[in-house]
Amino acid sequence: MSESNPCLDCGICCTHFRISFYWAEADDAPGGFVPAGLTEKLNHHLACMKGSNSVPRRCIALAGEPGVAVCCTIYERRPTPCREFPVYLEDGSPNPKCDELRATIGLPPLGWPSLPEAA
Residue ranges covered by each domain of the chain: 6-104
* Residue 53 one-letter amino acid: N
Cα–Cα distance for residue pair 104/12, rounded to 1 Å:
9
In 3D space, the residue among 86, 106, 105 whose CA is nearest the CA of residue 97 turns out to be 86
Cα–Cα distance for residue pair 27/78, rounded to 1 Å:
11
Q: Which of 7-16, 40-49, 71-80 is predicted least confidently?
A: 7-16
- Note the pLDDT tens digit of each residue in 19-39: 999 999 999 999 999 999 999
Question: Helix H segments across the chain?
Answer: 80-84, 96-104
Cα–Cα distance for residue pair 99/107, rounded to 1 Å:
8
The torsion of the CA quartet 86, 29, 54, 19, rounded to 10 degrees, works out to: 10
Q: Which residues pair with 39 in a beta bridge?
A: 49
Coil, helix or strand at residue 65: strand
Q: Sorting pLDDT into bands at 50, 70 and 90, what band is 3?
A: low
What pLDDT score does 11 carry? 94
CA-angle at 43, arms to 41 and 44, nearest 5°: 105
Q: Is 2's pLDDT higher than 50? A: no
Q: CA 16 from chain center: how many Å? A: 10
- Note the pLDDT tens digit of each residue in 66-117: 999 999 999 999 999 999 999 999 998 999 999 999 999 999 999 877 656 6
